[in-house]
Structures are given as C-alpha cells and as structure tokens.
Amino acid sequence: MPVASAQSSSTATSSSTADADVTLDSQLVDESGVIDPSARSEILDLLHKGISENNIKLYLVFVESMPTEAQAYAEQLRQQDNTGNTMVLVVDTVKRQIGFNAGGSVPTNLRDKIHEKAREKFASTDYTGGAKAAADEAAGTTDPASVAWLGAAGVVGIGGAAGGVVWSRRNRKNREEKQLDAARTIAPDDTADLASQPTHVLRALADEELHSTDESIRKGSEELDLAVAEFGEERTRSLSRALSNSRKTLNNAYGLHQRIRSELYADENEQRSILVEIVSTCGQADDELDARSEEFAELRRELIDAPKLVDELRQENIALRTRIPDARQKLAQLEQRYSREQLVSIVDNPDVAEHEIDEAEKALDEARTMLNLPAGRQSGLVDALNAARMACQQADKQLSAVERAEEHMTAANRNLDALKTEVAEELAEAADLRKSGADFDRSGLDAAVARAESALQRAQEMGDTDPLGCYSELLEADGQLDLEMDEARGADNNYQRTIQMVDRTIHDVQQRLQAVEDTISNRGKIISVDTRSSARAAREALDFAVQRRTEQPKEAFLAAQRASQMATTASAQAQRDIEEFNRRNSYRGGGGGDMITGMVLGSLLSGNGGFGGGWGSGFGDGGFGGGFGGGGDFGGGGSSSF
C-alpha cells in the first residue's frame, strides 16, 4: 500500500477531529442529521428487536466525514462494542460511502443483506428508508411494500417462504408476549428485577403503567367523591392522600416519558433507568390507590348490605348467649380436675363473653336505628356494625377457650417446650434479619419480636403453673412473628440477590477499568483527554456503586451499570488513541507498528493478557475483521459507494 502524503495525512487528521469521537451510545447515531425524527423511534424499536429476536446488535452511524477508509472506520467503531453478535454500518453522507464490520456470530448472508438493503435506499438519498431497511433485516422483519409488486402469481410462487415469514413473526410475537407476561409479575418495588428486563419490555411496561395509573386516578376521583359524601372528609383522608400521591407520580412519570419520546437521555443505560423509574413509581402509586379505593368500596358494600348484616349478627349474638350456661358448667368440671392456677387464663371467660354479647346487642340496636336515616347520614352505621362484629368475635373466642380447654391443656403439656424452642430460634433469626440492609417494615417486625419475647419469658417462668394460658399466648405471638418474618425474609432474599448482581458488575467493571487505567499509565501522552475523562467518570460511578452497595444496592446497581458503559467507552477511546498514534508514526516502521499496537491493546484492554487488537481492516471486501485475541473474533467487513 503506498504511503500517504503529508497533505493527505493532514486532511485525514482534520476530518478525524470531527468524526473520530463518535460514541456508540445508541444503536442509531445520526451525526449528519439525515434521519427523519418521526421515524427514529420505529427504527430503534426494530434495532432492539434485532437483539431480542435474532441476537444481532446492529449500529447505524451517519457522519459527514470519516477519519479513515470506510471499512477501517466501521471496524474502529465496532471496537466500542466488540462482541461477536455486533455489526456496525457507517455512512459518509457527503462522499456517499458505506463501511461495515461485523463479528463472527453475524451470519455472512445476513451481513450482506443488511448492507445491500440499506445501499439500495441510500442510492436515492433515502437515508431514513435505508436505515429502516437495514433494521428490518436485523430484526428479521420484511417491509410489506417490498413484496407488494409481485402480484398474485408472485404470491403463489413464494407461498412457502411467505408462510415461513408469517410463522417467524408469530413465533417472535409469542416470545415477546411471554417475556412481557413474565415481567408483569414483577413487584413494582423490585427495581433490580425490572432493571434486568430487555429495553422493549420496559417500554411496554412503562406504557401500561402510565395508562393504568391514569385510569386509577380517574376511578379514584369518583370513588373519593362518593366516599366523602357517605363517610365524611375525616374518614376519607387516606384515600385523598393516595389520590394526591398518584397525581404527583403520574405528572412526574409523564415528564420522564416525554424525555424518552424526545430522546433526551445520554445513552441506553439512562433510558432504561428512566423506564424503570416510570414502571416502579407508577406501579407502587397505583397499588396504593387501588388498595385505598377497595377499602371504601368494601365499606360501601357494607352499607348496601347493612339490613342483612344486622339480622345475621343478631342471630349470631343470640346463638352466643345460649352457649354461656354450657361454658359455665364446663368450667366447673375443669376446676374439679385442675388447679385454679392452671385455669387462671380462662376462669373469667364466661363473664367476659356475657359482657361482650351485651355490648354487641347495644351496637346492633344503634345500627337498626341508623338504617332508617337518609343516605349520606349513615356513616356511623358501618362503625356500629364493626363494633357488633368485634364483640361477637371476642365472645366466641372466650367461650371457645373454655369449650376446648381440655384439648388445649393436653396440647400445651405436650407441645409447649417445642414451641418455646421454635420461638427462641425465630427470635435469633429475627435479630439477624434486623441487621440486613433490606427494605421492609421494621416497626412491624419489632412489635412482633417484642410480643414474642414477652410471651416466651412468661412461658419460661409460668409454663408449669399456667400451661394453657402460656401456650395460647405464645402460639398467637408465634403466628404474628411468622407473618412479619416471612416479609422480612422475602425482602432480605431480594436484597441479597441485588447485592450479588452489584458485586458481579463491580468485579467485571473493575477488571476492565483497571486495564484502561494501566493503558493510560503506560502509554503516557498518547492517551487523549477524552479517554482520561471517560475513565475518570467510570471510576467515579464505580466508587459510588461500591459506597452504596450495602445501604442502597438498587442505586449501586444502576451506578455500576453506568460505570460499565463508561468503561467500555474509555476502552474504545484508548484503542483509538493508540491506533491514531500508530498511523501518524507508521512511516517509521512500516506495518510493524500495527502488530505492536495489537499486542499492546490485546494485553492491556482485554483484561486477560495475551496478544490481540486486530490486523488492519481485513483482506479485500470479505477479509478477517475484528482481529485476533483481545476479545476479537473472525468477523467480516467491507465498503462500497452509492
């Protein structure tokens, strides 16, 4: 290859200033401004489908000048995402040249189809159409207009192929629906699981949550108006607060959604973070509003059913009163067989039950009076019904304790020691859970722990004299503790899983970033300020992730992802700096500089040592693209004009 003249070298350097700094922060990079903004979202969706459906990540880059030959520039850009399934197609819109480079996992026929389909459109200066055609090929879709000219005979001729396309689309649609269905089951506060979803799934979830929250607010407003009219403003404050919170959340979410629509985000990581925030905040606000609305819907159903409920509770109260004589007789029999100390927890139960039955009777009389009041003045009816219901439940509990006392006494004598051991072990586990950085209702767990500790202490001190009372008290405390610990365990499991994700990401970024920092240290002035800035930004994000790992693992995970993106950018920039230095000084050692560059980059940027980095831009139009080692692969590339 002839050596370039000083003048051409100067020209290349000048053009490099404009376009060598292109960063693949999106799969569609339009430095020339030739893509129709209204079509950008559709093209990006197709490019994202290329990843989820065909495992092909295609980058489309439009520039007004290239710092090197087209194919070499495509290869250089691909180093920013140098995995086997990536392909870069770069277009010089002034010189009307195309360069492309693909990894070894991209089928040759697909690579060529993407190039040809795009080139056909570019030939008529239809850059938007060319971008869409290339994205269609990557996604495995077909533009209907491209087969419309075939006519009836053509359709018959390609029947089998068309059937295959239909099957492929249907199969892809089924996979997408399954992905989305699975994602819908993720709790809105589980941002770590949400962050692991594909971008197209997050987009769909965000749209659904915005729509759902909007509908919930509309229904919640109607529910609040009815609730205030029936129960008053004081009693409906919880619903009013939930509705206000949902409105604020929705307004914020719409602002975030507008940023997505306007593409006002730095890179895909930030886009995904925005989508996760929309899904999470809207989902949680939606759930809270729905819960408060359901509470008042239940109250309203009670008002409607109030006459029936009054009659049912009256019958229940009568039945309870008939059980009192039998309970007194049963207690007298027990006193002949057990000491009074052993029966101390139930000795007053018949009297307590009778008192509760009298209270229920009063509440039901009050409720019966309110049934005759006009609508809007019956809010006290629900309170009266609740008072009667609670009194009946308490009376039943008191009487049942006497009726089943002998059975409970046997169980207490047999199981109390085992229950004490179980509760003691659960209290020890609860102490460990309280040390966790997980987010759960600590006040609820603390209350359950305090109750269980008190019941356990009483059982240890008085279990022999009052086994029945101690066993019942400890059993109830154990039930409450189990409920609170189940919630804490679930939160801790999610916390530990997030921590593991953070640690894996931090470990990966640390290795890659250290390699870049070593490159900066070893290559001195060769490394540009841009590369150093990217490496510094990656280090800051990584340090933030490490600092927040324990207390805020979800924020740490997002920071680690940002650090990963910046480390990838810094690595690509460092490689570009060294290659640019080698090109400027190639006259000193001919092609040997390329080999040395490959050895340095393979050793310092791969994170695994060895030799790599690539040999030139390939042989001819097919060639060996991507290079040997250093994370490279046997790919392919080429260039053309249009």
Write the pLDDT tens digit of every residue in 39-54: 888 899 899 888 877 7
Query: How many CB atoms are located within 10 Å of the residue 119 CB?
Result: 19
The conformation of residue 635, written as its DSSP 8-state character, comes to: B
pLDDT band at 189 (very low <50, low <70, confident <90, very high): confident
- Does residue 214 share a domain with residue 256? yes
How far apart CA 348 and CA 350 sit, in angstroms, is 6
356 and 237 fall within a common domain = no
Q: Name 529's Cβ contacts closer than 8 Å, sequence gap at least 6.
A: none
Tell me the sheet residues that pair with 30: 62
Identify the CA nearest to 81 among candidates 23, 134, 16: 23
Residue 135's pLDDT is: 94
Q: How confident is the model at residue 191 (pLDDT cuts 50, 70, 90)?
A: confident
Which of 635 and 446 is assigned the larger pLDDT?
446
Residue 16 has pLDDT above 80, yes or no: no
Give the CATH number, domain containing residue 142. 3.10.310.50
Mean of pLDDT values over 179-189 = 88
> Which alpha helices (H) appear in 262-348, and where do they start and end?
268-304, 306-337
Work out the pLDDT band at 155, boundaries 50, 70, 90: very low
Predicted confidence (pLDDT) per residue in 56-66, tens digit:
899 999 998 89
Last residue of a domain, one of 368, 394, 420: 394
Q: Inter-axis angle of helices 306-337 and 268-304, to 10 degrees?
A: 90
Chain mean position to CA 231: 38
Q: What is the number of domains present in the chain?
A: 4
Lowest-confidence segment of 136-150, 214-228, 392-406, 555-569 by average pLDDT: 136-150
For the cut 50, the answer to whether the pLDDT of residue 79 exceeds it is: yes
pLDDT at 173: 63
pLDDT at 437: 86
Q: What is the pLDDT of residue 448?
A: 95
**CA angle 17–21–27, rounded 5-degree value:** 140
User: What tokens were used for 265?
Assistant: 């985000």
- Chain Cα centroid distance, residue 532: 32
Same domain, 133 and 45: yes
By DSSP bridging, strand 97-102 and strand 636-641 are: antiparallel
Q: Could you tell me the pLDDT band of residue 636, with boundaries at 50, 70 and 90?
A: low
**Per-residue pLDDT for 472 more than 50?**
yes
Same domain, 177 and 128: no
What is the per-residue pLDDT across 284-341, written as a single tens digit (0 to 9) for each? 999 999 888 888 888 888 888 999 999 999 999 999 999 999 999 999 999 998 888 8
Looking at 184, 201, 231, which one is the last position of a domain? 184
pLDDT band at 631 (very low <50, low <70, confident <90, very high): very low
Residue 626 covered by a domain = no
Task: Identify the pLDDT of residue 597.
Answer: 54
Cα 563 to Cα 145, 194, 418, 527: the distances in Å are 43, 19, 52, 20
Winning range, highest mean pLDDT, from 213-217, 280-284, 630-634:
280-284
Q: Is residue 404 part of a domain?
A: no
Contacts of 137 (CB under 8 A, 6+ apart): 110, 113, 114, 117
State how beta strands 86-92 and 57-63 pair: parallel
Which percentage of the chain shows pLDDT scores above 90? 40
* Most confident of the following: 369-373, 375-379, 390-394: 390-394
* pLDDT for the residue 3: 35
The pLDDT, as a whole number, for residue 260 is 86
pLDDT at 104: 78
Contacts of 485 (CB under 8 A, 6+ apart): 426, 429, 430, 433, 445, 448
- Choose the final residue of a domain: 376, 394, 412: 394
Residue 225, both tokens: 């108006």
More confident residue, 147 or 509: 509
**Would residue 278 count as lying in a domain?**
yes
pTM higher than 0.85: no
Residues 6+ apart with CB under 8 A from 498: 192, 553, 554, 557
The per-residue pLDDT for 614 is 33
Q: In whole angstroms, how large is the CA radius of gyration of the chain?
A: 36
* Domain shared by 7 and 136, yes or no: yes
Domain identity same for 7 and 138: yes
CA 96, CA 641: separation in Å to the nearest integer? 6
Tokens matching residue 65: 């000048």
Query: Quick one: pLDDT at residue 129?
Result: 92
d(Cα 432, Cα 423) in Å, to the nearest integer?
Answer: 14
E strand or H helix that includes residue 559: helix 553-584
Q: Is residue 334 part of a domain?
A: yes
3-state SS, residue 3 = coil
How far, in Å, CA of 135 to CA of 618, rounded? Answer: 25
Could you tell me the residue range of the domain that residue 160 belongs to? 149-184
Which of 559, 485, 589, 58 is closest to 269 using CA atoms?
559
Whole-number pLDDT of residue 157: 40
Any domain includes 84: yes
| Angle at the Cα of 175 from the Cα atoms of 174 and 178, rounded to 5 degrees | 85
